[in-house]
Structure 1
Amino acid sequence: MWNASKVINTLRPGFFGGLISLAGTAMGAGDIEFNTDVLDLSDRTNIDLSRFARSGFILPGNYSMVVQLNTQPITEQSVAFYPPDDDPKGSQACLSPELVEQLGLKQSGVAKLRWWKDGQCLDPQGLPGMEVSADLATSTLSINLPQAYLEYSAINWDPPSRWDEGVPGLLIDYNMTAQSSYRRHDGTRNDLTGNGTLGANAGAWRLRADWQGRVEKDRESAARRQKLEWSRYYAYRALPELKARLVVGEDYLYSDLFDSFRFTGAGLKSDESQLPPNLRGYAPEVVGVAKTNAKVIVSQQGRVLYETLVAAGPFRIQDLNDAVSGRLDVRVEEQDGSVQKFQLDTAGVPYLTRPGQVRYKLSAGQPSNLQYHDDGAFFGTGEFSWGISNGWSLLGGAILDNNYRALSAGVGRDLLAFGAISVDVTESRAHLWNETLKGKSYRLQYSKNFEQYDSQVTFAGYRFSEKNFLSMSQYLDAKHYGMNGELGGRGVYDQNGEFVEHWRPIGGNKALYTVTVNKQFRDLGATVYASYNKQTYWNRPQTQRWNLSASRYFNLGTVKNLNMSLNVYRTREYHHKDNGMSLTVSLPFGRSGTLSMDANRSGGDNSFSTRFSDRIDERNSYQLGASNNSASGYLSHIGDQADVDLSASTQQGNNRTLSASVRGGGTLTPYGAALHRTTSTGGTRLMVDTGGVSDVPVRGYGTPTRSNAFGKAVISDISSYQRTAASVDLERLPNNVEATQSVTQLTLTEGAIGYRSLEVIFGSKAMAVLRLPDGSSPPFGATVKNMKQQDTGIVNDGGNVYLSGIQAGKQMIVSWGGSEGCILTLPAILPIDGLTDALQLSCQRIATEQSLPEPAALTGTRNTMENTSS
């Protein structure tokens, strides 16, 4: 009976770790001689220790290694080792020009570089203080460089020299929601909505086309309405030298000084996402309360930005793109048929810039909209913010066409302990319908993080506009609809094609108040969040929305971690008012579940409900709910190819609703294709190649995804311009798969399709005994590799070896003395228990031009040092 664990442990770390340690303590640069008498071997004449004969020596060749710069991994690539000119028996890592470029050297450091091997390899001695070392045991190439030579870097962020543009490819991402509802008086209504992105990557360019659609059908009338539109065609790329993003095609003007509108043309703007994370800005969030399982749609000027199913209760959407600005339309479609609609003016932090730097945005083109396409004359716009000193920023901009002009100027001030503030004024002049309108708009913005009080004024803003002030979008509306917004019989329709009103006043904005506040009470375990938005007009009723939410964790007797949360909101838009509140008490229930009790008031109606939510496993969770007039269920599944949400509810009066949402995508590259789940349509992703091995779990930050039948998996939770790690989930590896390389790191640009391969070995594991045709065995220390050149074992005494990656009928190669020695063929039928029943394998000699030395002749030179056995 084999003692498998003892043999395995002897073969790998123990013995060879001891040899490496012994080699490392030897003095001098010459060859190390081993005293083989200290080895417990039956045949001390059949040993190959040539790979350990020199301290730190690595045989010349190419090795896949993780390159570390000052202990931080930066890339993984093939590194060549060559003998230096002054030491033919030595070896030195070749730092290629491509690898040196990824180090992020300053120009002053680049000027000092020296090269060897005809300019193919960097000479480390050209940069005083530079050290290069390699470790085969960990497949690591360590580079130490004084920080004075390097560009700015931060944790999980790399300078542009290390950014990866990805590989060419095609992608299609989608988000589909199907809903079937039955109402006693209205019958059955089925509808299917969706949005997504079709795209292609070529070099640094990202080509994208956004689509959205809706299909509705009523059973009684058999009427069917359907609409599919391509909401946006565009292409973009990063310009790392300028820290900017270039967009051509259909885009939206996202400005810090002017309001947003759609146009066709080109835009160049500073891209904060290319900066280190601590220098990046703000992204809007949407907060509300769903009375039932609901669908939330966030849109802007008719284009759907975000659509998702939410469970009953408070919801908070925080993963909108940080480039979104301006007014957002929020629509909450409840499963009882009711609809909540409100608008949200997104906040912007004060437009401040670091001293000596300039942030800018330039755009030119022709205004357009989804319904009427071209909607105005050619225009141009530009804006900037210049850090003129340590605390002051000067900002300004202009937007012009042949009949409209707006100029803006302002200042920003860093108040240090008191936050940051900016003030700007915009003057507009518009000539239309034989009339000239001229007015000014004044704006004040403030932001402060009160760390000592655990409080943050995320944004506070005030804008006052004179009666005749028109923004660009208001000017375009006036050109299209007339000065008083007379629309004839066409009317105004929302993003779902539903009629809203016959007329809409143009302009008339008077004052806008916006504030968002967060406060944590750590001693009490409580958090308070509040937001307020109010818009007044010169010629129509005001609109406002405020939201207040508070939550607190506490203990009650033996029950720990109870949570009580209160959410109160009020919306007023023209003649519509909607007040509501929700009080929720949650407590742990069972092993991982949560039991919640809700009291809600909305639209003048009171409701009481109880919800139970729990996780089945890391991929599946559910929620069951019941109230005084309804019952509901919600199931969420995180899949390898898509995320799926299901919800069902029944209301009083035999009203029923069933909904399903699917979010996923597909990616095609020259290296293969895979279906996958997605987090952001058209966004950055990483394709992982497991060498044709299926069912290998790989992960980014979230739940693992498994490689498909072709050994390809796509990870979508990848950040742009931020160092990201993808790894094999070793705890969930199948028994017949072994990962020899489990982690890879890279930094991808926005929208890139990254590609990395992770080395895994597929096959069974078993003990084996190798024999040459003459009955002898390969020497102790010989290596065994499969046909993919993956290490599968190291020969022990007497030809014993623990093999991995065993596949019936496949072949492996045994090497010693720096050459391939013999080839073995695995049996067609493998033993059931490879650890107790050792395979008897015959290894056939490989015919070469120069005959290999006999195993018995590979005797290691005996060490003449005395008492080495001690």
Structure 2
Amino acid sequence: MMISSHSSLRTFQPRLLSGLIILALWGGSCWGNAEEVQFNTDVMDLKDSSNIDLGQFSRSGYIMPGEYSMAVQINNVNLPEQNIAFYPAENDPQSSEPCLSPTLVQQLGLKSQAQSNLQWWHQGQCLLLGSLEGMEARGDLATSTLYISIPQAYLEYVSADWEPPSRWDNGIPGILLDYNVNAQVQRQERQAGSQSQDLSGNGVLGVNQGSWRLRANWQSQMVHHTGSELPTEKNWDWERFYAYRAIARLKAQLTVGEQLLSSNLFDSFRFTGVSLATDDRMLPPNLRGYAPEVRGIARTNAKVIISQQGRVLYEALVAAGPFRIQDINSAVSGQLDVRVEEQDGSVQSFSLSTANIPYLTRAGTVRYKLIAGRPSDRQRHIIGPIFTSGEFSWGVSNGWSLYGGGVAGEQYNALASGLGRDLMMFGALAFDVTHSRARPDSENKVLSGNSYRLSYSKRFDDYDSEVAFAGYRFSQQNFMSMSEFVDIRNTGVRSQNSKEMYTVSLTKQFLESGVSAYLNYEHRTYWDRSDNNRYSLSVARYFDFGRFKNLSLSINAYRNRNNNTTDDGAFLSLSLPWGDGGTIGYSSAYTRQNNDQRVSYFGQLKGDDSYQLSSGADRDGLRLSGFYNHYGDSALMNASASYAQGRYTSLGMSLQGGATMTMNGGGLHRVGTLGGARLLLDTDGVAGIPIRGNSLANTRSNRFGKAILADVNSYYRDNASIDLNQLPEKAEAISSVVQATLTEGAIGYRRFDVVAGEKVMAVIRLPEGTTPPFGATVVNQQQRTLGMVGDGGSVYLSGVAFGEEMTVNWGGSAHCTVSLPQNLPDDKMADLLLPCRRLAESKQAH
């Protein structure tokens, strides 16, 4: 059934608009005080000026007593949605006040002195706002948000993206499975068409419960050679079982199970036990250290594997040319092993030390690590005696730090001590000495020796330069690390026996000429074998040439000298922006064995996908290659193909993603750091909602209205937002931004207020033929207001579903229900007539 068409809409719109304007400007046309506002309705152009319900507007900001689900915003910082109770105010029963419970107050980040002055009301369950001068709290039902304003003097230290521990979120219980799988097929023409298939991967299986994270790391590889008598190589390894949790009060992480010793003083080794260590990521950003960085050059489309003590930390396909890997966990320290497997079958291998700034600590604070356990191997066998280890850094005074530590075991002991100094404008310097004493064999011969280390870092702002890390270490021949001690006990062979090590990393910006340069040098000598050296240089410049803008020229070169074998390489590239997001490039790669010239095109596709096509030649003939990168909602996919005339054809593909499941929902998703923190986002059951996080590409909610962002930084304040420019046609975002500060490995949960459905014009009629009063509201079963009744019962409804039942409220209570038909009428331009059944009649009908 319908009534008049466009005429009613034209009549309704100006009357409703004029009414809303008058309500918005009620201060100029009302009498009374702020608690009870009376409206001059005579100025409103209404057919029935007596049938009006403006009770919900009669008191500014008034919220009826009850419990509401609201997001909480503290000084423009968002906290998770939670239930907020509103009670009649003690000094004015006609108004209401929000109840800030003790649980919510703990999340405010108040200083200890401010907490001691707090007062409570409602039987000690609600914070008395007046106990902190200048503090205010206001609820807003339109946005379902509780706004809290607190003077900064009462709050703990905060920065642009860091919050105090009181606001860290341990997330919700859940299960996760992250994976990184690489597959390659190579056909060698020079070996009578022999073919090999290589499938490898690594990942994390995890369970979250409260603040605990249970993790199992796995890695696997299968290699099959067609046309040969070699057996298929298969390997599956549950590489590590462990559990950990953050202890916010101590700014530390407790870990139980299989671990690698991560130390600023002692070499890394594998053990099974327990550790308690200060986590720099829990500190404000200006107090955190550097994360490790790996640079190199891939001669072809290649697979890069970064490992430590046999444990794979990073594995991915990279396109031919220079690569720079910066997303390794910042908690990793010590020596890293890098392996670059080219698609032509060749392999580059080198090791490097992660760059740590000198071990300095802010004055008056202590950083520490406490460990107990037994050395173990990758097969979970105990291979050494019980040991304990501890280290600390104490900020003695402004600029000075004293640090040291020790390892104590049945037949191995080591003691280290050092002093660090912040030289202000001259950088930071640290010096330490480590003494070891070991009995590695049955002869009970004692080996003792010292190792000396000097390290330095400096940022030269006046010259746009930085010495990111510089160090020198000398170890006497009888000095022995714990890992060497374990090796000798079990194999009789000493693995390292290092003598000297020099390492330096330099960066320089030449702003006037647009040139940036990076230099890394590492030199190692040993007591029982030849020296190792690695040089790496990168120079890049951006410039304009005539009508061509933003050209890029870069030169990358390296030299690896290991066991009297020298591996040299250089890569020169020139790129020119072309078209909409495209780039034309020329490159030349040089090695001792070959020289490769290529022309390439890099292009962008819809959805932030990208591809690269190249063709060229080397000493042996034609070379063709392609590389494709796809940011899928369920996984990140890379695909590559290479052809070398008369030599080989190679195809490769990698998938990196995960599955996360909780009681609040879950799904498949891309993943950055395997096993890391992630954010489960709820879009109220609406599918296809585009969400922005830290990733280059948006993620869309799945068919169940869930999306998972797995690129969340632990202990940083992260934002996730709905991309309003790409919303589906029938969806609206009431709230489009959420924030979270998650502990490591947490599964955070946040909800967007999203409405999806039809938009219709309707007229509501009561059984006796009258209409609800002007200002009555139409709400759905989720108590979301879908529209407000105008003159003559006209109402504009948005976000509704056909067949849905809604309630019409006025006078502070629900009076009747309306139901939408299952389909739109044939005349879509006409207003729907919606009979409103009294609540008693509605119950009988059901």
TM over 0.5, shorter chain: yes
- State which of 516, 519, 542 in structure 1 corresponds to 2:531: 542
The residue that corresponds to 1:492 in the other structure is: none
The residue that corresponds to 1:799 in the other structure is: 793
SS at match of 1:166: coil
**Distance of 1:111 and 1:420 partners within structure 2:** 39
Please tell me whether residue 620 in structure 1 is matched to residue 609 in structure 2. Answer: yes
The residue that corresponds to 1:382 in the other structure is: 390
Deviations 1:21-46 (A, max 9, x none): 42499663441111112222222111
- State which of 372, 378, 381 in structure 2 corresponds to 1:364: 372
Deviations 1:436-473 (A, max 9, x none): 21111100111111122211111111101111111111
Please tell me whether residue 838 in structure 1 is matched to residue 831 in structure 2. Answer: yes
**Distance of 2:22 and 2:221 partners within structure 1:** 68
Q: Structure 1's 731 and 172: CA in aligned 2 closer, same or farther, altered over 3 A? A: same
Aligned-residue offset at 1:787: 1.6
2:801 partner amino acid: Q
- Select between 604-613 and 138-147 the one with higher mean Cα deviation: 138-147
**Distance of 2:368 and 2:827 partners within structure 1:** 68
The residue that corresponds to 2:626 in the other structure is: 633
**Distance of 1:446 and 1:8 partners within structure 2:** 75
- Within 5 A, what are the aligned runs for 1:510-521? 510-521=499-510
- State which of 222, 233, 237 in structure 2 corresponds to 1:225: 233
- State which of 449, 453, 468 in structure 1 corresponds to 2:463: 453
Aligned-residue offset at 1:748: 1.1
SS at match of 1:185: helix
- State which of 401, 407, 412 in structure 2 corresponds to 1:393: 401
1:73 partner amino acid: N
**Distance of 2:576 and 2:188 partners within structure 1:** 35
SS at match of 2:190: coil
1:248 partner amino acid: V
2:683 partner amino acid: T
**Distance of 1:279 and 1:314 partners within structure 2:** 31
Conserved in 1, the CA contact under 8 Å of 2:77 and 2:739? no
Q: Structure 1's 15 and 177: CA in aligned 2 closer, same or farther, altered over 3 A? A: farther
The residue that corresponds to 1:664 in the other structure is: 657
The residue that corresponds to 1:420 in the other structure is: 428
Alpha-carbon RMSD across the aligned residues, in angstroms, is 2.1
Conserved in 1, the CA contact under 8 Å of 2:661 and 2:667? yes
2:123 partner amino acid: D
1:576 partner amino acid: T
The residue that corresponds to 1:573 in the other structure is: 562
Conserved in 2, the CA contact under 8 Å of 1:23 and 1:52? no
- Select between 12-21 and 447-456 the one with higher mean Cα deviation: 12-21
**Distance of 1:166 and 1:313 partners within structure 2:** 40
Aligned-residue offset at 1:561: 0.4
Q: Structure 1's 26 and 680: CA in aligned 2 closer, same or farther, altered over 3 A? A: farther
1:655 partner amino acid: Y
Aligned-residue offset at 1:145: 2.4
Q: Structure 1's 833 and 611: CA in aligned 2 closer, same or farther, altered over 3 A? A: farther
**Distance of 2:694 and 2:360 partners within structure 1:** 32
Conserved in 2, the CA contact under 8 Å of 1:23 and 1:53? no
The residue that corresponds to 1:373 in the other structure is: 381
The residue that corresponds to 1:759 in the other structure is: 753
Please tell me whether residue 153 in structure 1 is matched to residue 147 in structure 2. Answer: no
Aligned-residue offset at 1:165: 0.8
The residue that corresponds to 1:469 in the other structure is: 479
Deviations 1:720-769 (A, max 9, x none): 11222222222222112222222222211110111122222221111111
- State which of 201, 204, 210 in structure 2 corresponds to 1:197: 204
The residue that corresponds to 1:728 in the other structure is: 722
Conserved in 1, the CA contact under 8 Å of 2:808 and 2:814? yes
1:460 partner amino acid: A
- Select between 800-809 and 23-32 the one with higher mean Cα deviation: 23-32
The residue that corresponds to 1:790 in the other structure is: 784
TM-score, structure 1 normalization? 0.92
Aligned-residue offset at 1:694: 2.0
**Long gaps (5+) in structure 1:** 486-504, 850-870
2:806 partner amino acid: M
Conserved in 1, the CA contact under 8 Å of 2:81 and 2:750? no
The residue that corresponds to 1:166 in the other structure is: 171
Conserved in 2, the CA contact under 8 Å of 1:691 and 1:759? yes
- Within 5 A, what are the aligned runs for 1:8-23? 15-16=19-20, 18-23=22-27
The percentage of counterpart residues that share the same residue type is 52
- Within 5 A, what are the aligned runs for 1:816-835? 816-831=810-825
- State which of 431, 436, 440 in structure 1 corresponds to 2:446: 436
**Distance of 1:685 and 1:26 partners within structure 2:** 53
Q: Structure 1's 53 and 661: CA in aligned 2 closer, same or farther, altered over 3 A? A: same
- State which of 802, 809, 821 in structure 1 corresponds to 2:803: 809
Conserved in 1, the CA contact under 8 Å of 2:12 and 2:794? no
Please tell me whether residue 209 in structure 1 is matched to residue 202 in structure 2. Answer: no
- Select between 78-87 and 388-397 the one with higher mean Cα deviation: 78-87
Conserved in 1, the CA contact under 8 Å of 2:687 and 2:700? yes
The residue that corresponds to 1:712 in the other structure is: 706
**Distance of 1:456 and 1:203 partners within structure 2:** 42
Conserved in 2, the CA contact under 8 Å of 1:812 and 1:824? yes
Please tell me whether residue 270 in structure 1 is matched to residue 259 in structure 2. Answer: no
Q: Structure 1's 640 and 28: CA in aligned 2 closer, same or farther, altered over 3 A? A: same
Conserved in 2, the CA contact under 8 Å of 1:11 and 1:794? no
Please tell me whether residue 179 in structure 1 is matched to residue 168 in structure 2. Answer: no
Please tell me whether residue 349 in structure 1 is matched to residue 343 in structure 2. Answer: no
- Select between 64-73 and 791-800 the one with higher mean Cα deviation: 64-73
**Long gaps (5+) in structure 2:** none
Aligned-residue offset at 1:592: 1.1
Deviations 1:326-370 (A, max 9, x none): 111111111111111111111211000011100001111011121
The residue that corresponds to 1:864 in the other structure is: none
1:722 partner amino acid: Y
The residue that corresponds to 1:41 in the other structure is: 46
1:98 partner amino acid: T
SS at match of 2:93: coil
1:839 partner amino acid: L
The residue that corresponds to 1:97 in the other structure is: 102
TM-score, structure 2 normalization? 0.95
Conserved in 2, the CA contact under 8 Å of 1:570 and 1:578? yes
Please tell me whether residue 68 in structure 1 is matched to residue 73 in structure 2. Answer: yes
**Distance of 1:792 and 1:622 partners within structure 2:** 45
1:217 partner amino acid: H
